[in-house]
Amino acid sequence: MKAYSAHLITGSNQQAQRQLLALRLRSRMSFLQQATPLHIFVVTLRCEHSCPYCQVSRQSTDRSRFDMSEETAMRALDIAFASPAPRIKIEFQGGEPLLNFPLINTIVSTAKVRSASLGKKVDFVIASNLALLDDVVLDFCKSNDVLLSTSLDGPADLHNKNRPRPGANSHELAVAGIRRAKEVLGPDRIGALMTTTEASLDRVDDIIDQYLQLGLDGIFLRPLSPFGFAVKTKQFQKYDTGKWLDFYERGLHRVLDINRQGKPFREFYAALILTRMLSDRPIGYVDLRSPAGAGLGALVYNYDGGIFASDEGRMLAEAGDNAFRLGHVDHDSYKSLVLSDKLIDTISSSLTQCAPECSTCVYESHCGADPVYHHATQGDALGIKPLSAFCARQKGIMGVLLNILENSPEDAAILRRWAAS
């Protein structure tokens, strides 16, 4: 009876269960009906930080030729508003995007006019290190309902080591910016991300404590990615998947302990995976999608007008690999980009339901594909999954979560609340 209610078996003439499973699959795949809701504008490659793990191949602050022009931005807006999603998000990235703040102002004001005339809703996010945050920027964000996203790697010594800048005050400026943004914009209008370096591995408690001290509602425990300076400076090779999974599991149990003490605080990646595991709701996170979110989930407009299927694809291009460059704002339309052979090949390589190793994996229905990662690490978008660190991380995290769900009722209740929120 349990196998029947779990839809593992059915009668030979029974159609209702199959129809229910089809409806559940349609719900999971409904993100395909909202094609390309995210549009990333790389308004500059300039940055005043010199982070050794930077994925972007930043440029020094005096090299203004690495700024996006207004003409390029307007053409990128044409493409963004041509996407069929009824609600789009424009995210400003760099480099440090506030080094080209006048262009951000122009893009937001123009996008709001187009939004009103076309009936397409638009949201805005600035991904900034907050070193240049001032009252002018905050007033702009408040007036235009712009969210802020920043990087916070932990306490001062760790953050400043991971994210050096002239004056050695990266942490001081980031913390001040977070506090000021929470005060002016509201507690839910600023988010932070951390990146795990070799120096972070033994300090997960310190990192989580920093997030708690700033009143943030959770943490996203992220590994390094094989792009940009993270490869050039060999940061990516400084720890293996096993060491990171140990770091992650310790961090997850610390977060669960915080919740047991009565304070709501989430590990956001676990919450995303749990949503996939415990519900049929679609999620926006492109790395947990099949087919992958490249192009279908996001388009990236580089400072020079080049258009990429993903932000990671743009990072590869800065190192000379144009495998995920789809076109250019000067001569491409939204339709030509999403119907290009290059994007179709990428999407075809990302279907876990029929990919070798993925299709027979017990975790397949909870997982996603990352063709850019596998191209970067193995030279093939499909990848050899038993050799994939991405797969090892996914399986490791899901194994930890399933163990908690099975063996720890109190913690399992916390995880289920994360999936439902």
pLDDT at 100: 96
pLDDT at 62: 57
| For residues 155-163, average pLDDT | 95
Task: Give how far Cα 91 sits from Cα of 7, 19, 102, 176, 253, Å.
Answer: 41, 39, 15, 22, 32
Domain ranges of the chain: 32-239+293-348
The half-sphere exposure of 348 on its side-chain side, counting CA atoms within 13 A, is: 7
Eight-state DSSP code of residue 225 = -
Would you say residue 290 has pLDDT above 60? yes
Smallest CA-to-CA distance from 129 within 211, 54, 72, 39 is with 54
At residue 307, the 3 state secondary structure works out as strand
| For residues 107-118, average pLDDT | 96
- Written as six digits, the tokens of 259 are 């919740």
User: If you average pLDDT over every residue of the chain, what do you get?
Assistant: 89
| For residues 47-76, average pLDDT | 79
Handedness of CA 94, 391, 250, 190 (dihedral sign): positive
pLDDT at 291: 85
pLDDT range class, residue 61, cuts 50, 70, 90: low
Least confident stretch, 46-60, 225-239, 350-364, 365-379: 225-239
Determine the Cα–Cα distance for residues 219 and 359; give it in Å rounded to an integer.
Answer: 31
Query: What would the pLDDT profile of 314-368 be if each residue is shown by its tens digit?
Result: 988 888 899 999 999 999 999 999 999 999 988 888 888 888 889 999 999 888 8
32-239+293-348 CATH fold? TIM Barrel (3.20.20)
More confident residue, 348 or 120: 120
Would you say residue 52 has pLDDT above 80? no
pLDDT at 229: 47
Burial class (CB in 10 A: 0-12, 13-18, 19+), 125: buried
385 alpha carbon, distance to own chain's centre: 21
- Written as six digits, the tokens of 125 are 């996010």
Percent of the chain whose predicted confidence (pLDDT) is above 70:
89
Determine the Cα–Cα distance for residues 337 and 346; give it in Å rounded to an integer.
Answer: 12
> Is 98 within 8 Å of 133 (Cβ atoms)?
yes
Determine the Cα–Cα distance for residues 36 and 27; give it in Å rounded to an integer.
Answer: 18
Task: Give how far Cα 365 sits from Cα of 224, 262, 353, 361, 391, Å.
Answer: 25, 32, 8, 9, 13
Say how many C-beta atoms besides its own lie within 10 A of residue 347's C-beta: 21
Query: What would the pLDDT profile of 178-210 be if each residue is shown by its tens digit?
Result: 999 999 999 999 999 999 999 999 999 999 999
pLDDT at 8: 59
Would you say residue 74 has pLDDT above 70? yes
